[in-house]
Structure 1
Amino acid sequence: MLPIYLLEDDDVQRKNYSKFINNSIMINDANMELKLATAKTEALFDSCVAPEKAIFFLDMEIDNNNIAGLEAAERIKKEVPLAQIIFITTHDELSLVTLERRIAPMDYILKSKGNDSIKKSINNDIALAQNYFDRFARHSQNIFNYRIGSRFFNILMDDVIMIFTEKIAPGQVTLISKHQRSSFSGSLNSIENIYPDLFRCDRSYLVNLDNAKSYDGKERILTFTDGSTCKVSFRKGRELLGILEDRDN
């Protein structure tokens, strides 16, 4: 479920905007939730623990700091690669600053236009964000994404050879592609759920059969275009033969 975060230091406005956001989620039947509505940037970042994607509604002025929301947005852009940012503010003069700092917000909502206009804008923004993330999800099936520390990486799924785990490195997975080898934190179960086109040939291996070169059914050895190999479990061997036979027909 896609998280939504609201940063607004006025109690009445925070309550109103939370209501608008929750109503918009229902109206758009969006797979989203308002994860946090807070008056403090510290609480925002304490709650927002490195999601890959999220929606942020930010007041520009927090605790008499006219650019607190702007500063928060800059940090969000660094930590949340697919963040969609919407400012709700009285400071129309700062809209150009968001461009200068390359924040590229989805929307810039002015409080002076009144609650009816704000409610309509929030509803439209949630609908637009839902469409954006739906399109990204379809596209991302062709892209393999992973994270090492605070850095995000992506490669074409066509380049993925295999992903595996080793007993000597619990909690780590290793990716072998046509052009690189990388290790990062993760689990094969979660990767398999996100990328169902990868084949689980063994408890420790996920493979891209599009890059398979040959399969020795007697030895249960799968060989790939780069010369790498992996063992196929007895249970998965029959399923693999069926897949390969269907591809040949």
Structure 2
Amino acid sequence: MLPIYLLEDDDVQRKNYIEFINNSIMINDAHMKLVLATATTEELFSSCVAPEKGIFFLDMEIGDNNTAGLEAAERIKKEVPLAQIVFITTHDELSLVTLERRIAPLDFILKNKGIDSIKKSINNDIALAQNYYDNFAHHSQNLFNYRIGSRFFNVLMNDVIMLFTETTAPGQVTLITKNQRSSFSGSLSSIESVYQNLFRCDRSYLVNLENAVTYDSHSRILTFIDNSTCKVSFRKGRELLEKFEDRNVKKQKTGPHNK
């Protein structure tokens, strides 16, 4: 689910944009949700907690600050790697500033063009963003991306063995690959929603079955190519066994003797 955030301090305009956004989600059958519509940048950033992606509709002028939306966009670009920014503003003279500051907005909607034009632009932007994220999701399945502090990293999905969490380190995810071990802030649920090729074998583990070698259904222990192991929950045992057997059948069909 792709989150949408709206920053607009005019109550009437904010109400209109909420309606336009929700209608556009329905019209485009978009896998999105408007999670926040606020009048302040403070509430925007207090509610927007470390997302990896999102669409941000930002009024450029908030209160007496003519560039509040611009300043918010700069921070969003640093903190949300896959953010799409849409400005809704009367300040067309600031469009060049967005280029100078390398914000690269998805769109720059001018309020003085009228409510119907704004409605059409919001609908088009949601459709465009949906297409962008669909394409990204397709290509990103070959890479696993994560962030430590302000630095972004990616590894080949083929190298990923497992990700897990520990009760002694809440909010931290440990990544095990063929060549490295890393820890970063996050949750398995959010990772699972993005990387659907990973399998949730237990509430504390996400695994790459392509790098699993054996599964003991009696002890419910899954073993990987690096000899690491993890426990499989009773509830997930049957599903994992079916996936594991399907994977082995596919490998046999694509083996050298079948080429």
- Taking structure 2 as the reference length, what is the TM-score of the superposition? 0.78
- Code of the aligned partner of 2:84: Q
Listed as ranges, the matches of 1:174-193 within 5 Å are 174-186=174-186, 191=191
Listed as ranges, the matches of 1:120-131 within 5 Å are 120-131=120-131
Identity, % of aligned positions: 74
Find out whether 1:244 has 2:248 as its counterpart: yes
- Give the 3 Å change call, closer, same or farther, for CA 231–81 of structure 1 in structure 2: closer
Secondary structure at 2:97 match in 1:
helix
| Deviation for aligned residue 1:223 | 5.6
Q: Distance in 1 between matches of 2:193 and 2:8?
A: 36
Match of 1:53 in 2: 53
Q: Distance in 2 between matches of 1:16 and 1:126?
A: 16
- Give the 3 Å change call, closer, same or farther, for CA 204–130 of structure 1 in structure 2: closer
Match of 1:84 in 2: 84
Q: Distance in 1 between matches of 2:109 and 2:132?
A: 19
1:185-211 alpha-carbon deviations (Å, 9 max, x no partner): 456566556434345678876544545
Q: Which runs of 5+ in 2 are unaligned?
A: 254-259
Secondary structure at 2:50 match in 1:
coil
1:169-190 alpha-carbon deviations (Å, 9 max, x no partner): 5664432324422123456566
Listed as ranges, the matches of 1:219-238 within 5 Å are 222=223, 224=225, 228-231=226-229
Number of positions where the alignment pairs a residue of Structure 1 with one of Structure 2: 245
| Deviation for aligned residue 1:106 | 0.2
Find out whether 1:96 has 2:96 as its counterpart: yes
Q: CA RMSD in A?
A: 3.2
1:200-245 alpha-carbon deviations (Å, 9 max, x no partner): 6788765445456x6598xx88462xxx212476968965466435
Q: Which runs of 5+ in 1 are unaligned?
A: none
| Deviation for aligned residue 1:17 | 1.7
- Taking structure 1 as the reference length, what is the TM-score of the superposition? 0.81
| Deviation for aligned residue 1:248 | 2.4
Find out whether 1:5 has 2:9 as its counterpart: no
